[in-house]
Amino acid sequence: MNRPDVTAYLQRVITERLGRPVGMGDTLLDQTGFDSLAIVAVIDRVETDLGLEMDPDLLVPETFTDLGTLTEAVCRSDSRGTT
Amino acid sequence: MRLTDRFFAAARQWPDQAAFDTGDRVISYREAAARVTGAASRLADRLEPGDRVALNLGKSPDAIMLMLATLAAGLSYVPIDPAAPPARRAFVLADSGARALIVDDRTEAGWPDDVDVDVRVPAAGLAGLLAPAYSAGLPAADRDDTAYVLYTSGSTGRPKGVVITHGNAEAFVDWAAGYAGVRPGDRVAVHAPLHFDLPVFDLYASLTTGATVCPVSEHVALFPQALLRMLRGRRITVLYAVPSALIALLHRSTLTEGGLPDLRLLLYAGEEFHPAPLARLMAALPDTEVHNLYGPIETNVVTALRVRPGHLRLSRIPLGHAVAGARIFLVNDGVPVTEPDQAGEMLVSGPSRTPGYLDRPELTAASRAVVHADGQDWTCHRTGDYATRDAEGVLHFLGRRDGLVKTRGFRVELGEVEATLLRHEAVQEAAVVAIADDEHTNVLHAFAIAEADGEELRQWCLQALPPYMVPATVTVAADLPRTSTGKLARRELAEGLSA
């Protein structure tokens, strides 16, 4: 999956979880309902759907700043998994 | 001596010790005492003794200094969950009758302009409120005066405020600081949110003994690996947290690679910690003493047990002995049990038993029972938890009455979630069940007979309830299974989900 596709995919997963749209610039951790359960659910879904495992060092607040930083982390996990 | 007197005494004894260390900001006891004094005198000037002050603040030294300032000013505080939706925050403000509202950058946007309070401090006013001052004539609070009000889930759909007096808080803190041996040089994490009762230990056991308070920011607390880095990086020596958070740390961080060498003491409370994951956690923390604390918010901690290897082979970790001056009766059909190993509901009396719920005399009365023992009457709080006491006097937890569950350490009345669903105009009937979950203790699932879809109803809950009370799923059905008496068959619903 290329980067724009990953972003669109993540946007869809998070929007479904929160039940309302999230935009590119939105701070994910400030969204009501984006709590520890939501984070675990999103990570589990991404790991299953994309067949990758995110490094624990990427599962930190900085990764969830916005869709851009999350896309970056997912793409890094992806390349690690396939090379 | 009130808690704030002890804080000021600690500040005189250890002025150069750090009272707070956030990683970015270190505040000495000298500076903290001056800021608390300044804020206390400014609040006392504008409010009447006994007034309540609502603090809708993220977890920060400023928030904690304002808690101390309200106590030092003869006022009481009501911490409001920054993660709660605006409607619930407004409910708590109104229900508590708070005369002041203090907000920060993150919470400010959630409040309308026309809030009915005498004093409103905007985010931009925080620095001025906390500007240092070096002396102030402050009113002294009484043992029986309210120190703070903590809101918890209420079964009829309304959260209820638990009133905690200075005497209640002191009884707990006196015991806890001694039990944990908190001292200068200790670095005590504040992991739980400030509207919860666990931080009462973190803040007051530390700030009365010269130890350093290290708040775990809300964002860091969401991520086990970030929490691990924080605990290591700031060399935390004492951590008090709920089992769900510790299990997440065990499974979702690199804790097992290197452990936490500085952590001398780990306390847990809020829900059961099953022996298998606890054994794995303790294996990862070979140099850390682990203790199980128990007590509802209405009594604070009333039992404690140092967990030893032998306990890990039992099916449940014992609760331990009564502590903090508490007297615990096991009552069966209105009569205290007398023989070892007989089961009864735990009824708690003692100095940490709180006076009840704010402006809810009917709820307070229902939570009470009087036990006659040793020639006197003991007014007790009914915990709703069942236990036995063995021949050595150790209490063993058996389970809870229906309706109240723990999820991630938070207490949730299923009836409150059901009542929230029923307030939606399209909902005719609703049932909420809790399904046991290894990582989160319980996960909530809702069922409704409604002319709306499940996702719309989940959204409705998100707007009305704190995130931990929102069901993970809402299933809409044409009808729901019933018991022979026509009541909703919650057990059948739960079994359907577990299957």
For the four alpha carbons of B15, B16, B19 and B20, in that order, the dihedral sign comes to positive
What pLDDT is attached to residue B266? 98
* Cross-chain Cβ contact B459/A20 below 8 Å: yes
* Cross-chain Cβ contact B467/A32 below 8 Å: yes
CA distance B162 to B413: 15
What are the two backbone dihedrals, phi and then psi, of residue B298, each rounded to the nearest 5 degrees? -75, -15
The answer to whether B252 contacts chain A (CB < 8 Å) is yes
pLDDT band at residue A83 under the 50/70/90 scheme: very low
Q: What CATH number should be reported for the domain whose range is A3-82? A: 1.10.1200.10
Q: Where are the domains of chain A?
A: 3-82
What pLDDT is attached to residue B154? 83
**Comparing B195 with A41, which gets the higher pLDDT?**
B195
What pLDDT is attached to residue B359? 97
What are the two backbone dihedrals, phi and then psi, of residue B102, each rounded to the nearest 5 degrees? -120, 130
**If you measure CA to CA, which chain B residue comes closest to A64?**
B219
Q: Quick one: B116 exposed, middle or buried, by C-beta within 10 A (0-12, 13-18, 19+)? A: exposed
Residue B320's nearest CA partner among B276, B283, B268, B357 is B268
What pLDDT is attached to residue B491? 80
CA distance B416 to B201: 28
What pLDDT is attached to residue B428? 87
Euclidean distance between the first and final Cα of chain A, in Å?
Answer: 15
Length of chain A: 83
Q: Among A18, A19, A29, whose Cβ lies nearest the Cβ of B222? A: A29
What pLDDT is attached to residue A82? 46
Mind listing the domains of chain B with CATH numbers? 3-222 (3.40.50.12780), 404-498 (3.30.300.30)
CA distance A59 to B329: 46
Instruction: List Cβ neighbours of B309 (8 Å cut-off, separation of 6 or more).
Output: none
Question: SS3 letters for B141-183?
Answer: CCCCCEEEEEEECCCCCCCEEEEEEHHHHHHHHHHHHHHHCCC
**If you measure CA to CA, which chain A residue comes closest to B110?**
A32
Structural contact between residues B271 and B406, judged by C-beta atoms closer than 8 angstroms: yes
Instruction: Tell me: pLDDT of A80 over 70.
Output: no
Q: Is the ipTM of this complex over 0.95?
A: no
Q: Which residues of chain B have pLDDT under 50?
A: none
CA distance A23 to A37: 21
What pLDDT is attached to residue B137? 86
Helix (H, G, I), strand (E, B) or coil at B344: strand
* Cross-chain Cβ contact B455/A39 below 8 Å: no
What pLDDT is attached to residue B203? 98
Residue B23's nearest CA partner among B145, B187, B158 is B187
From the CA of A56, how many Å to the nearest CA of chain B?
6
Instruction: Tell me: pLDDT of A31 over 90.
Output: no
What pLDDT is attached to residue A20? 82
Interface with A, mutate which of B88, B217, B218, B223 (most A CBs under 10 A): B223
